[in-house]
Structure 1
């Protein structure tokens, strides 16, 4: 009896002593979420079909659906009965500062994961691969990068797209007049109203802009591309391994399950709200491979 009591007492002491240790294991974003009971997600307003707002100003999209799975994993990991999701709009210029200063915990949009950005933030395993191209009016006959010589060309500030545009302008001595837009909608409008001859952006985003136009046949996407297909990832804070482990676990579960094909078809192979735009953009073999073998490399050659 005495021995049994001692064993029970030892177990009780061990439990009490281990409780603070378990609490101390939480740090960074997970600790913040546990203490506040909330997670803040950054989204874009015009990055159809990844992250955008519908006619009622409701944020939705492929990236936000993926983040919903991540939120479920966080909730289960922290054993929370409920977890409030706060949504904050971000832009190309504000997304990284808002992440690094703690305003948002995840950015669920259309952000390219590259080596330069990995110095500042981290990314989930890749969920899309896209190439940098341009859109122009069909009547212009602009199809290749060299066709842009002496033309007025726009791209969005704070993106890898405009960086590659400047690099091509210098390397090829094209003498372009480069304008900046605040987002995709404004950049495409510049082409529509004649302020710019072309708008440079990720091909899938251009496809969405064209499909949403009043007369899609008035616009054509370039055959040339400024880059190899580049990876998109859900952005999170750097140097937070515990939180990244949860994000990666959620993404890997989704990507390697049959559910990812259903989710992809929902956003790229069927009409999406609010205008019923259908991208008709089948999953590429390289993206299927990235889903089957998830990784967070920012190097296009890794895919």
Structure 2
């Protein structure tokens, strides 16, 4: 993640200083002292961060974090660096970054200006829109169709915030339910406890593709807001660590390896069921990879 042009000269000078080992602070000092980097992951955010049949965390975001770990290891001149994986949820991820329990959150977290007041993000690795999924038989196609319906979204997400805002501004009179994660949210629709589930479109695509009857569900074309960026989350006010993380992502995103990594998770069969998202890289994503950007403002893309 080599976003050198966004990092202060002072931060880069620290990385290059001969006495670097004596000048370590923040997250890098913590990692050096413990010999461990702690990564937060999600259990159901396919294909970004989820567990396979053997309960091993895998996914697109975790593959990116592997490259970050390599850069941290090289920067600290470590022969080995232990990776500790910690499951997080939408409600625990930001507090666990803030209190130092995890060093990176490698999942499917939206980078927005509000969250940037609490945490930092590295360069964007995906752009997604907030939509809803419903059963084909329901006939629900637009946001206005949700009037008077029972609609679910996951607590602690930007999705549920936008759902509440739409409910108020459009006078829809929805009954809004909360779920702990994407799997539970989709289950509410599967079992008819909710008419629709609101979440990032790419996550909805994964839920539908891995369901028992994919043709029985449809994702809305209507979106609650313009596409928003995903980023790897890390602590704020730690520019030296962020410089290392940004250096690793810039190296990856601007290399030919990025197209192969994207194809691995979005246009190829993935474990554990061999489903294929068939979600080719958009022009906006190509631009974001060619010119790495960590902005939480959707207008920047």
TM-score interval w.r.t. the shorter chain?
Answer: over 0.9
Deviation digits for residues 198-226 of structure 1 (CA, Å, limit 9, x no counterpart): 00000000000000000100000001000
Which residue in the other structure is 1:188 paired with? Answer: 186
The Cα of 1:25 is off from its aligned counterpart by 1.8
Map 1:83-232 to 2 at 5 A: 83-232=81-230
- Secondary structure of 2:80's aligned partner: coil
Using the size of structure 2 for normalisation, the TM-score is: 0.94
Deviation digits for residues 136-185 of structure 1 (CA, Å, limit 9, x no counterpart): 00011101000000000000000000000000000000000000000000
Which residue in the other structure is 1:72 paired with? Answer: 70
* 2:245 is the counterpart of 1:252: no
Deviation digits for residues 41-70 of structure 1 (CA, Å, limit 9, x no counterpart): 000000000000011100000000000000
Say how many residue pairs are matched. Answer: 285
Which residue in the other structure is 1:12 paired with? Answer: none
- Secondary structure of 1:88's aligned partner: strand
- Secondary structure of 1:39's aligned partner: strand
Q: Which of 271, 288, 291 is the equivalent residue of 2:289?
A: 291
CA distance in 1, matches of 2:20, 2:235: 22
Map 1:254-293 to 2 at 5 A: 254-293=252-291
Which residue in the other structure is 1:39 paired with? Answer: 37
Higher RCO, 1 vs 2 (CA within 8 Å, ≥6 residues apart): 2
The Cα of 1:22 is off from its aligned counterpart by 3.2
- Secondary structure of 2:205's aligned partner: helix
Q: Give the CA RMSD over aligned residues.
A: 0.9
Using the size of structure 1 for normalisation, the TM-score is: 0.93
User: Structure 2: which 5+ residue stretches go unaligned?
Assistant: 1-16
